[in-house]
Amino acid sequence: MKKKIFLAGVGGMLGEAFYLEFSKDYELYCTDKDVNEKWLHHLDFCEKDNYKFEVKKFNPDYLFHIGAFTDLEYCERHKVQTVKTNTDSVITAVEISNNLKIPLLYISTAGIFDGTKEFYDEKDLPKPIGVYASTKYEAEKYVVNNCKKYLICRAGWMMGGGPKKDKKFVQKIIKQIKEGKKELFVVNDKFGTPTYTFDFAKNTKKLLESNKYGLFNMVCEGKTSRLEVTKEIINILNLQDKIKINQVNSSYFSKTFFAERPNSENLINSELDKIGLNLMRPWKETLREYINKYYLDYI
Ligand SMILES: NC(=O)c1ccc[n+]([C@@H]2O[C@H](COP(=O)([O-])OP(=O)(O)OC[C@H]3O[C@@H](n4cnc5c(N)ncnc54)[C@H](OP(=O)(O)O)[C@@H]3O)[C@@H](O)[C@H]2O)c1
């Protein structure tokens, strides 16, 4: 008989990869407050009693708490809602996990560091610098200190979901190209480690199936910058002669992207390496796969 997983907040970019990877071998109950797929059921995980009720009813072997508010500017403007969504709901998830005696998966982020170091591994102490980062780190700490059996996987710059779901950098660049822009303005002072949703979902699956628990950085191989990612997108799309990139620093976008972001969000997967379970591929390889899979018909 297949093991059962209850997934909360899987209507977004990462959720899609989790659904596609895990549905092959597990019985899933996928939920989100935005029911944008036929495989999703409605659940607002901030509604504590409903969350508890629905998970208990499904009687799963694992609880995956995936969703969050991920728009940094929205989080800055809606602090109370963000605390409820990104921290308080995770406290509920821990309670459910402990009561039902099932492991909890929580997704954390490279964004919880202040960006003053070049690289961060699992031993480095986070120092969040904005509402999104603080609420995610509070949740991470709560899981570590209170959950009896947990897996925390930290992602970096998420790539996945395609035109329908990707709200992040790759989609923002490709959208401008689709709109016919011949000149792009790209920051040259932000560094990070891209994270392809499908590699992340596969690596999480491998960890669970190896019965490994704890805290793991889980990003693609190789550090890079927003600028280099943009150059690579243009290479992959063969648009080197058609699009000009203008380098700017972050202050150029300070009105639109007013939430402070760390200069470095580079993670190293030290713990995955240590146990020989680092399946994350080089970011350029996964970016190419991502674009070929989702964007060739879109452009
Ligand atoms: N995106 C990144 O670059 C990144 C990097 C590192 C870690 N992460 C983490 O990865 C996880 C997945 O994020 P993602 O990239 O897939 O973001 P996403 O595309 O924004 O997906 C998050 C999903 O959570 C849902 N959600 C929010 N509040 C909810 C609630 N109260 N009840 C049920 N569902 C709710 C959202 O619905 P609405 O769209 O309706 O709000 C959305 O469908 C998050 O925990 C995030 O913090 C993301």
User: Sorting pLDDT into bands at 50, 70 and 90, what band is 134?
Assistant: very high
Distance in Å, CA 107 to ligand 1 centroid: 9
pLDDT of 9 over the 90 cut: yes
The sign of the torsion formed by the CA atoms of 84, 85, 88, 89 equals positive
Q: What percent of the chain has pLDDT over 90?
A: 98
Q: Which of 157, 173, 198, 176 is nearest to 290 (CA)?
A: 198
CA 287, CA 230: separation in Å to the nearest integer? 11
Determine the residue of 33, 154, 226 to mutate for testing ligand 1's pocket, defined as the one with the most ligand atoms within 8 A of the Cβ atom.
33
Q: What is the predicted pLDDT for the residue at 297?
A: 86
What is d(CA 57, CA 38) in angstroms, rounded to the nearest whole number? 20
How far apart CA 220 and CA 158 sit, in angstroms, is: 10
Provide the 10 A C-beta neighbour count for residue 118.
Answer: 11
143 pLDDT above the threshold of 90: yes
Q: Average pLDDT in the 99-127 region?
A: 98
Residue 299 predicted with pLDDT over 90 = no
Pocket test for ligand 1, best of 70, 89, 91, 204 (most atoms within 8 A of CB): 70
d(CA 183, CA 279): 36
Task: Please give the number of the atom of ligand 1 that sits closest to the Cα of 65.
Answer: 45
* Three-class secondary structure of residue 53 per DSSP: helix
Q: Ligand 1: which atom is nearest the Cα of residue 89?
A: 31
What pLDDT is attached to residue 290? 98
Give the pLDDT score at 168: 97
Mean pLDDT of 158-168: 97
How far is the C-alpha of 242 from the C-alpha of 183, rounded, in Å?
9
Binding pocket residue ranges, ligand 1, CB within 6 Å: 9, 11-15, 32-34, 43-46, 66-70, 85, 107, 109, 136, 155, 157-158, 165, 167-168
Residue 98 Cα to ligand 1 middle (Å): 23
Quote the pLDDT of residue 298: 87
Task: Pick the atom of ligand 1 nearest to 71's CA.
Answer: 20
For the chain, how far is it from start to end, CA to CA, in angstroms?
A: 43
CA triple 163-172-69, angle to 5 deg? 80
Report the percentage of the chain scoring pLDDT > 70: 100
pLDDT value for 274 = 98
Q: Which domains does the chain have, with CATH numbers?
A: 4-161+193-223+263-281 (3.40.50.720)
| pLDDT band (50, 70, 90) for residue 154 | very high
Tell me the C-alpha distance between 94 and 117, whole Å: 31
Average pLDDT taken over every residue of the chain: 97
Cα 82 to ligand 1 centroid, rounded to whole Å: 11
Measured in angstroms, how far is the CA atom of residue 13 from the centroid of ligand 1? 8
Tens digit of each residue's pLDDT (9 = 90 or more) over 28-85? 999 999 999 999 999 999 999 999 999 999 999 999 999 999 999 999 999 999 999 9
Q: From the CA of 105, how far away is ligand 1's center (Å)?
A: 14
Does the structure show a pLDDT above 90 at 224?
yes
> Ligand 1: distance of its center to the CA of 11 in Å?
8
